[in-house]
Every structure is written in C-alpha cells, then in structure tokens.
Structure 1
C-alpha cells in the first residue's frame, strides 16, 4: 500500500499533458525513482544524542499515470498480480500518482483501473524504455533504409520480456503524437508517444493490443490543429469510410517456393520468354448471384492460375493492390502503400496466391505506384500539418492531370519510405518484379504543365534530378538485393537509356513498355483496310528504334478504357473481319521483337470496354469467334515458348530481317526472326487486308521444305481456311535478297508462321518449368 500522501504534479503539468505541450511525457508518466533528502540525527560516543544531523538521500519508486474517467487505480506486480499500491487521484483530469512502499528497484507492473462501468487491467506502456534503433533511424533519414517497415508502423516486439506492439511514426513538426484505437477508447491523451527530436520519430510500446485492432495516429500540429491520420506503414487497413489502420497478424507464412526462388536467381530474363497477362483482380471474374462479390485469393488460386498457365503466359502482372479507398482508381491512387487491399483477403492469402503461382511456374509482377499519391485527408497529405512527403510549392508538389500530390524525392525519409515499400513487396510477398507506373511524370518537371506552372531544376533544366537519382538508386538496390527480379518502366517518351545500366548513365530498369509501338499499331488497326496502304509505316516504323531499349510490347488496360473501346471494336468491318484482323494483329505482335503483355479479356475478344465494376464477359466463350481468338492467343504463346528465335535476342538487329517492309499496295508485311542455332529461324507473313493472295512469292533463307506452323485463317480459329496445306517447297529462285523463294497463298486478314520442316517439330514443345507434382521445400 501507499506509505505516504501521493506527490502532486508540478503546476500546469496536467494541462500541458492534455494540450500536447509537455515536452517529454515519458519523463513524467510511468515509474520513476524519486530521490528526496532525509535528515538523520547522529549520536555521541557516550550514547547521547548529538545536536548535529546528517542529510541522506531517500529513494522511492513513484508511479504516475493519466487515465481520464478513471475512479480508482491500483498498482499490481506483473509477475504475480499482487497489489502493491493504490494511486491517489491528483485532480479531475485523470491524473493519478503514488509511491510504492519499501521498494526502490524498478519492476514490471500493471494498473488495475476502475471505471464507472468496468474494471480494466493495463500494462502501463510508460514503464518501458525506447526500442528505437538509432542506426536504422540514421539510415532512414539518409534515404538508405531498405526495411523501414520494421522500424516504423506497428510491429510486434518484445520489451523486457513483455510482448506488445511498438508503434512508430515520423512526424518531425508535430507538437504531440498519440496512438488512438479501439484499445484506448480512441482517446488521444491515453497513449502519447515518446518524441525523438534528432530524427522527428515518435514511438510507444503498448502491450495488451490484439491482432487486427484498429488504430490511427492523432497529431497536434505546430499550430495547435488536431489531425487524425492512418499509419503510412500500416500492413493492413480497414475499408472506407473508416480507413483505420490494423495491427498486423503475428503469424509467419510458411513459404514453399524455395525451388522457384533459386531458379529465378539463374534467369537472364532478357534472353527468356516473357508473355505477361495483366489482371485487375476485382474484375477478372466475380461470384455471387449478381456478380457482386470479388474472388478471394483461394478462388484466384483455383481459377486464375490454371487459366493463365493453360493459355501459355509466363508472367502475371497484377494492377495495384496496395490499399485504395476508391474502386474507380483501380489502385492507382493508393493510401495504404504497405497494406494489401482488403478486397481479396489478408496478407496470408496473398502470400498463398503468389506461392501457388510459383509452384505453377508463373512469375508475378506487381504494378507499383511511386509517381504520386492522393489527397485523402487520412493519408500522407500535410501529414503533421506540414508538407512532409510532398513539396510545399504546388509547382513541384501537385499533378494537374490527376489532382494528386508528388513525392519529394529529394528528402531522405521519403526515399526510405518508397525504397522500403518496394523491398517490402519483393521480400515479404516474393513478388518477382515491379512495373512502375507513370515514370514519365517523374522524370520531367514540366510534365503536363504549361509555362509558368513548373520550376526548373538547379541547372535550369526540365529534368527532375531528384526523381532520376531515386530511380537509379532504387533499381540498383533492388537488383542487388533480389536476384532474378524484373524492373519495368511505363515510360511514354523518348527518354534515353531507360534500360541502360546506371553506371552507363541509364536509369537501370530491366524493361520499358514500348508505348510508341502501341500507339502507332493501334492507330493502324483502327483504319479501314482500304486506307491502310497509305499508313503502312505505322506498323514498320517501330523497327527503326525497337533495338534501342529492352522493350515490352504492351496492350494494357489503358487502351480499353475512357471511351477508347475494346480492341475488337477498334477494328472496322463486320464481325468476321474484326476477329480476323485482330488475330493477324496479334500474330504481328508475337512476331515483332520485344516481350509481350496483354490485358485480360483481349485474349478472347471482350466486346465491351473494360469496366472495373463488373466481371469480364466470360459468357462470350460460348460463341465460336471468341473461342477461335482465344485458341489463337494460346497457340501463339506456346509457339513463343518453344522457339528461341522469338525471345533469345530481342535487342539484336541482326536477328531480325525484313523480307518486305514496303508492300504498302497489298498491306502485306513479311520478316524473319533468327535464333542462335545454325539455320534456326521463323518467317512471318501478315496480310492486313481482306484480299487473298495466290501465288505470292516470298524469299526463303534455305532451299528446303517449310512447314506452316501457324495460320490464323485456319477454320480452327474461325478463319476461312485459306492456306498452303501445311507445306511450302523452296525453289532455287533468288528473291528478296534470299537464295531461295517459294510461292504461297496468303490468307485474308491473316498471319502465317513458317519454319524449316526439320525444326518444326520443336514447335509443339511447351516450356514447363514446374509441374503440379513438384514440391519446393
């Protein structure tokens, strides 16, 4: 029990605490050793009391706490639950204080708190020392911390043998920061955090917190404004409109993809097949009577993975899955950059999904947004009442196109935030790479701005030197830390060296989307065949630059939204012509140098423009034209997997040769793709008009029999059946700079793929890296 009256707080301490004006709350609350003078009389040698006294120091343990609304507070030993003291209420604000009799050495304790309607036992967080790692805090400020999510956010830790959650947040200009949640009645006075002035970090270790507990940070700005924010490092978040952060689960996922990760380390993806299926998980397929429910990760394991594998794709690219409040943003305006979206399950479910992809031999790429962030009030905007993550000047800090904010790439703490987030998805979730959205908007200070709306860099130029430096550092660090990943840039300009090494003055990406090819070829696709002869260069011009970067030919979600219509509806003509033309176009795409990417639904001819609000129109596959297009894409993929000439040397100009790039009158394109092996090659002939060409002569590199590996006009794909009965015989007639030639039938709106007969048998061999029976330990 108490041995004396409880000492009072100094005058004004209570109001300073409540108003966020007390500088070091941990020096006031919790258990402290109190020293006070004590006069002790001395005795003479004859046993008589002397007149002099000796002043000694008396030590006592003092406990203070702030518990608004509490009636009584007792101090209990944490080890055995024994009551050691009752604290005295100091005033009506909820301040309690008292000393512990006889004990002078600090010990672990809990508080038994009586409220009008309940009694709670609380392990007082103010008795625990700081867990902040100063080395990590230094690297964080320098912009070099790769795992800031272990430092900041909500992390399960042990403190003096007690398990709890260490809450940590960067808010250098706040006067007070508190954790509020459903474990403290959302009361900002209950868990005021410890401030570290040197780095602007606030932290508090709180035991007795449950997994999935809801929390936010309550900040008092330098101007006295009370701000409530979600945790920038939250690993799970509540759905809108609550938008609270969630304390993460404790469980560790038991990965089974060691074999895949070891295999991935050995891959040089520039010389391997990459055919990517881009997916928006919320609308690929849905369930429920009205299609109103999202598939969860287990559904996706059972449905999406087998489909993608059967179709012959090598990579799966997920549109952004970091938590986003607004469905219509498709994930490109994330608020919880570290939190997998609640829409499809929890983090464990996502890990199981990626694990299953790896078991099936599928690499998984994440669409990652580092170019901007939204202005949602619970997010990063003016986080502590000042511009922390963004530039204060709107000429540097705002995107006019998207009404979003631009990261301050020159600030070390922001660099660590983004770098760590990239590492988080690659390390914690085993993603096989990142596709970075809107890179062009990061590179140019005048991106989508008029004169006077932007500020030049220190050298007077338009280049965002800080963003460039960040991207270079990001790519270098990630490729070093995660061997075998791919880093992909969506970059729509002619910025030089996007995929060159950083030490060669490049940006260091592995691949770049070929936006020029996409724009030109889709413009050509939309022209009436009668006019295509006047725009022949729209399909040939890309060969002038396609060897300058490591390109991916992308037909992404951006090409089938916002009034652009589906790919099928871009094509003029009747239904037969639409499907035939799209098959020929895909044939040209798969023959063109560069890796491949196709957005979901394009592979079977989705008729309506893509909508994030509903499933793809899978019912269309009951109709033959859609079945035929799907079969054609599947066979193109399997041909691609089996023919090294289509992927092993995408950037070598000597491995591509036009047979005829000038036949604009007939709108026929013919070219050769060469492999590494002697004599290994494929010939593509693409006719983009409805006219059949009989007796059409083409040059042939070898005087041998050629096989017709693929014919998009086959009745199997919904075509008219025009072709060459599977065989073409070479004649000893030089043509098109070839020693031999042959006469063929070129089908209407069709694509032919020819191979020397002795090599054609390889075309049926698919690349199966992992089977369902494989067990990766």
Structure 2
C-alpha cells in the first residue's frame, strides 16, 4: 500500500475504498485550521474567554459579547435596579462584537447582572454567553449572571499536577446526587466524602457529570445553558477548584462531561435566539433542531462558533485544571440523521453523504487543541456508531480521540440477561463481545453507566434480582434469586473490567448494586429527591449483601490498578468449552477462568497451558464476597503434563458453578 495513504487506511485494508473520503476530512480540517489561526496556533486562537465576558482590569471593568444582530445592548443588574441607563450601554466594535467599560466602583463582587439586548423589532433579557458565574434565585427560580471577582484568586496546592500514564479506571459521578440525603449535594461534600472513597476503592480518574450550568436539574446536565459557568447549584467556583485540587493531591485525574453536541433552547438563560436570531450559534431550519432531544444543534461551519466551543475547551483545562473530557453525543454530531434508528452495519454507513464533515473538522481541531493545552489530558468519545478512526490520532488520519466508549457491551449484557436463560449463555460469544474492537483504537469498557441506572431502564443488579433486592438482602436471609444475581454481578463486572481495551468505567453506586434507579425531581414524581441520591450506608453495613459486592469491586479494581493490567494490550483466549460454559484467557501473567454454568461444578477441569505455577489472587466464590468458599485459595496450583514431560500441560482446577477465578503465574521451579 502506498505510504501516501493515511496510517488509518494503511492499518485497515477495508478502508481503502474510503481513503479519499478520509483524506478529504483531513484536508477540510487543515484548511479550516489555517483559516482560523493564520500563522498562530489553536492554543492562542482558543483564548476567547480572556477577551469576551466580564473582566476586572487595573482601570475598571470591561465586558464584551458577540451579538451580530443586536442594535442596542444595555447591562442591567442589582447595581442599577435592573433598568436601562445610558452609562451602561454597550458600544459596537465591529464584526458583531460589543463592549462596555465601567469604573471600578460600578460593580462589586456578588452583584447580579444580565443584558438587555435590542434587535430590529424586539428586545429581551439575556444572560451573557461568556458568563463564568450564573446563579438561580431559590424563590423565583430566575437565573442571572453574577460578578465573581473575589479579592484573592484561588491558590492551587497542586498547580503542576500531571496525569499519570496509567490507563484510566474511571469513577463516573454526579455531584448533586452523590450524597444520601434527599436534596442537591455540594462540591464540598463530594470533596470531603466521595474523593477518599473513590481513592480507597482504587479508581484513578473521576468523571464529573453536569458541571456546566443547566436550567433543568433533571436533564442530568445535558441541556447546557451557560457553557463557561460551573453549576452554582453545587457551590462556588472556588469549591469546584478545591475539589479538583484535592483529587490531584490524591493522585487522581478529574475529567468532565463536555456537551458540545447541542444546547438547551432556553432564550433568557441559554443561547437560543441570543441576538434575536436562531442562527447565531445554531443551524437555521430543521438542521438546527435535534428531533429527539428538544434542543438546538451548533453550526460548526461558523468560525465564531468554533471560537466559542474551542475556547470553552481551553477554559475548563486552564481555569479549573480539568484533565480531559468525555464528549457527549458524538454520534449525533457525526451524522445528519444523528444516528437515530440506524444500525451501522457496513463502512458505507460511516463514509458517505450522511456524514457531517463540519463535525469531523470540529473534532480534529478540538482534539489537537486539547493536546496543545494539556498534552497528558484525555478525550473520550461517546459514540454508538463505531466510526473507524474516531479514536485514532489526527496525525494518522483519525479524528483524534484517545478512547471511545465501548457502548455495545452494556447492551450485550442487557440482551442476554433479558432474552436468554442461564443455560443458553454462549461463552464464546461473550468473549468475542468483550474483546471485539478495532486494534488501532482504545476503548473505555464498562458493564453499565449512568444510562442503565436511569428511570425507565434497569441496572444489571435490578435485572438479576428485581424486587427481591428490597426484601432479601440481609446476609442471614437465604434466597436463590439473590444468590444468582450477586454471583453473576461479580462475574459480569470482572469479565468486562479485565478484558477492557484501554480503560474501564463504573457509575457511582453500581459497584455495590445500588437498589434505586435514578429519577430526578420532576412534576411526574412530585419533585421528589427520593431516587436522586446514593445510599452509601447499605454498602458499608456488614449485615447486608451489598457489602459483599462493594468489597469485591474494591479488590477487583485494586488488582487491575496495582498490576497495571490494562497496559497489557493482548487478551489471549486460552480455551472455551461451550457445552460446559467455561472459558479462560490470559492477560500478561494472569489467567482468568470463568464457569458460567448455572448448575454444574467441575472437578479437575483442565486448562491447557505451558508449564507453570499459579496462585489464586481473586475468587468470586470467596466467602468474603458472598461465595461458598469451595475453592482452596491458599495452595499453589501446578500445571501437569498429559503424558511425557514435553506433552501438553494442563492446570487442573475445581470450578464451582457460576464462579470466576483469577490466577497469577509465579516462578516455576526448575527440574533438577
């Protein structure tokens, strides 16, 4: 193959018919980058937050906003009784940019403010697009921007923190629902109570959801209104910075959900008709409206929109020192039909007229920028389509993400739990699904995330145990349904985590089989917080079976972390026995053996291996995890030849039904 082809194509012969398309998206991105930066850099270009928005200077205040359709703009707030006054009128600078300069005494820290924007036939109140602090009145529910200019900036204790090279073990979390009480919890509470828990459990990366301000709490943070403002319902900017700072001090990276796929339609506290037009930030007509999400879709062809979004990326990396992003809604961005009701069964589905090349250009620019600003940061794509090249470096012809979410795996687990009886589970298919990925792309593997915990869906533990979770979870209450559920919960998570193709993710509470779904306060539930919290005490109660799952997850994650298991790329099948429902695989020095048989245990089950000595390092059947303690974990296990010394060796193991063993190969004594 010609070396002029992108490495992405060279590494996959099936992409050769689409090499022209891939080269075209490269050329478009390079052309757009040159158009944006000239002889500069993306890092310099994406500094809009230092120019736009409200800033305190040595001589006073300056605020700038981009509103090309506006005819007049006034700053209104608590300082002028929310009235338009001549001294607070903006001046046009050209190209749709407006500016207002004020004396130092005109504004003080804590003042509330907004814009009154006039256009040809109307006017309206607007919260500045570049506002970095937005608050909601608890009585009126009205949002306003707030002057955030404390006497002293936050002083970082770990300003030079750099993420380690260890693969991410991600703890996905939501600040507001991280506590036990029926209310919105805070940055400080998360810092004090959750960070030590996450660290102790072995995770090295915290993924925070719902950080940018969003008017509706129940949107889970996915209907963003103010892209530069950390949600004030959880606390102050200082408190979020302190949370990130302390996580860094513990050696944990912190990434955030980034929603650049769409924006809330709200006009006062969002970008909807910000200057009186729909098409300032978004596409006009049907292309600008998401048919499933009731939101507006950004126009990535406009330089000003790219400036806004790219500056937003740099802002979170620089101002709050986040260590990367999980990009939400990538599938929706990549395709004109948003990937809705589409199967994506062949390469033609990825490279053709349905692919939005403005979005591929944005992704290449965004991922280049992220590495320029913070080289060791990570970018994860939430994409269900499986587009080739998504998590391939820009230099190789890809779109530049470090990881893609392995979104097919949770669907697979749900499917077999729902549709197949235990004796119909195909261990060959399970292993194939666990390890099936493009060799040139890393994935974030997971058994379930927040998606599976939402009301209307079910977590794995709920599908396995259902109502028995409420009545039979004391350790002194025998229940076969619960026993099955706990056993399979451990095995499913162990299989998913130990075959992970680069990174692993867990949503908070799922590690111990949290018994409640997530249902945010809404009209349909009487605005209740009952199901919008995490009940940690049941995981720590030694009398409850949740404790078994919690302890197992902790040991599993620590095993993966301490042995740097996910740095080993090869996951090699050792054997599969479909009739017996047993399979085994190697990853480095570790042997993983799974017996998914629901009823049959096996004595002296032979695993074909080379000569070796093994020790059990994790056992789902251990009594401390709710098992039956049928496997001897104290002895060493030696492979034995089937015939002569040079014949095939077998590791003979006792495999109880529904049990998984992790064994580590240790030094094999030499034959004298």
Same fold (TM over 0.5): yes
CA contact (8 A) 1:524 1:535 kept: no
Partner of 1:404: 295
Partner of 1:279: 173
CA contact (8 A) 2:283 2:298 kept: no
Kindly indicate whether residue 536 of structure 2 is the aligned counterpart of residue 618 of structure 1: yes
Partner of 2:128: 231
Distance 2:134 2:63 in 1: 15
1:366-401 CA-to-partner distances (Å, cap 9, x unmatched) read 111000001112111111112344444333101111
CA contact (8 A) 2:595 2:656 kept: yes
Normalized per residue, the structure richer in strand is: 1
Distance 1:541 1:506 in 2: 24
Q: How does 1:565-576 map to 2 (within 5 A)?
A: 565-571=458-464, 574-576=481-483
CA contact (8 A) 1:166 1:206 kept: yes
Q: How does 1:704-743 map to 2 (within 5 A)?
A: 704-726=612-634, 727-733=636-642, 739-743=648-652
CA contact (8 A) 1:724 1:744 kept: no
Partner of 1:435: 326
Kindly indicate whether residue 633 of structure 2 is the aligned counterpart of residue 744 of structure 1: no
Partner of 2:413: 521
The residue matched to 1:154 in structure 2 has which SS? Answer: strand
1:196-216 CA-to-partner distances (Å, cap 9, x unmatched) read 22x210011112201121111
Q: What 5-or-longer segments of structure 2 have no aligned partner?
A: 1-35, 343-350, 466-479, 521-528
CA contact (8 A) 2:571 2:585 kept: yes
The residue matched to 1:203 in structure 2 has which SS? Answer: strand
Partner of 1:152: 52
**Structure 1 pair 666–526 and aligned structure 2 pair: CA distance change class (3 A):** farther
1:146-183 CA-to-partner distances (Å, cap 9, x unmatched) read 1211111111113xxx33x2111101111111111111
Distance 1:373 1:440 in 2: 15
Distance 2:649 2:114 in 1: 74
How much is the aligned-residue C-alpha RMSD, in angstroms? Answer: 2.7
Distance 1:738 1:549 in 2: 38
Kindly indicate whether residue 410 of structure 2 is the aligned counterpart of residue 510 of structure 1: no
Q: How does 1:193-592 map to 2 (within 5 A)?
A: 193-197=90-94, 199-207=95-103, 208-222=106-120, 224-239=121-136, 241-250=141-150, 251-258=152-159, 260-261=161-162, 264=163, 267=164, 269=165, 272-286=166-180, 291-378=181-268, 379-448=270-339, 461-527=353-419, 529-533=421-425, 536-545=428-437, 547-554=439-446, 555-571=448-464, 574-592=481-499
**Structure 1 pair 398–450 and aligned structure 2 pair: CA distance change class (3 A):** farther
1:448-507 CA-to-partner distances (Å, cap 9, x unmatched) read 5699xxxxxxx9711111111011011011112212111111111120111111122211
Deviation of 1:523 (Å): 2.0
The residue matched to 1:238 in structure 2 has which SS? Answer: strand
CA contact (8 A) 1:216 1:244 kept: yes
The residue matched to 1:483 in structure 2 has which SS? Answer: coil
1:38-80 CA-to-partner distances (Å, cap 9, x unmatched) read xxxxxxxxxxxxxxxxxxxxxxxxxxxxxxxxxxxxxxxxxxx
TM-score, normalising length: structure 1 = 0.72
The residue matched to 2:506 in structure 1 has which SS? Answer: strand
**Structure 1 pair 734–686 and aligned structure 2 pair: CA distance change class (3 A):** farther
Partner of 2:563: 643
CA contact (8 A) 1:533 1:666 kept: no
Partner of 2:5: none
Distance 2:197 2:292 in 1: 36
CA contact (8 A) 2:641 2:649 kept: yes
The residue matched to 2:153 in structure 1 has which SS? Answer: coil
Structure 1 stretch displaced more, 275-284 or 531-540: 531-540
Distance 1:569 1:186 in 2: 51
What is the total number of aligned residue pairs between the two structures?
A: 588
Distance 1:629 1:665 in 2: 29
CA contact (8 A) 1:524 1:538 kept: no
**Structure 1 pair 530–188 and aligned structure 2 pair: CA distance change class (3 A):** same
Distance 2:83 2:383 in 1: 46
Normalized per residue, the structure richer in helix is: 2
The residue matched to 2:511 in structure 1 has which SS? Answer: coil
The residue matched to 1:294 in structure 2 has which SS? Answer: coil
Q: Which has the higher contact order (CA 8 A, sep 6+)?
A: 2
The residue matched to 1:731 in structure 2 has which SS? Answer: strand
Partner of 1:101: none
Q: What 5-or-longer segments of structure 1 have no aligned partner?
A: 1-135, 452-458, 675-680, 760-777
Deviation of 1:277 (Å): 0.7
Distance 1:139 1:437 in 2: 31
Distance 1:242 1:576 in 2: 50
Partner of 1:606: 514
Q: Which runs of 4+ in 1 moved over 6 A?
A: 136-140
Structure 1 stretch displaced more, 438-447 or 272-281: 272-281
The residue matched to 1:196 in structure 2 has which SS? Answer: strand
Kindly indicate whether residue 78 of structure 2 is the aligned counterpart of residue 182 of structure 1: yes
Distance 1:304 1:173 in 2: 46
Deviation of 1:549 (Å): 1.6
1:344-376 CA-to-partner distances (Å, cap 9, x unmatched) read 211011111110001111111111100000111
**Structure 1 pair 517–181 and aligned structure 2 pair: CA distance change class (3 A):** same
The residue matched to 2:410 in structure 1 has which SS? Answer: helix
Distance 1:449 1:552 in 2: 22
**Structure 1 pair 619–171 and aligned structure 2 pair: CA distance change class (3 A):** same
CA contact (8 A) 1:139 1:145 kept: no
**Structure 1 pair 306–484 and aligned structure 2 pair: CA distance change class (3 A):** same
The residue matched to 2:202 in structure 1 has which SS? Answer: coil
**Structure 1 pair 399–638 and aligned structure 2 pair: CA distance change class (3 A):** same
Deviation of 1:695 (Å): 2.3
CA contact (8 A) 1:315 1:363 kept: yes
Deviation of 1:739 (Å): 4.0
Distance 2:435 2:190 in 1: 38
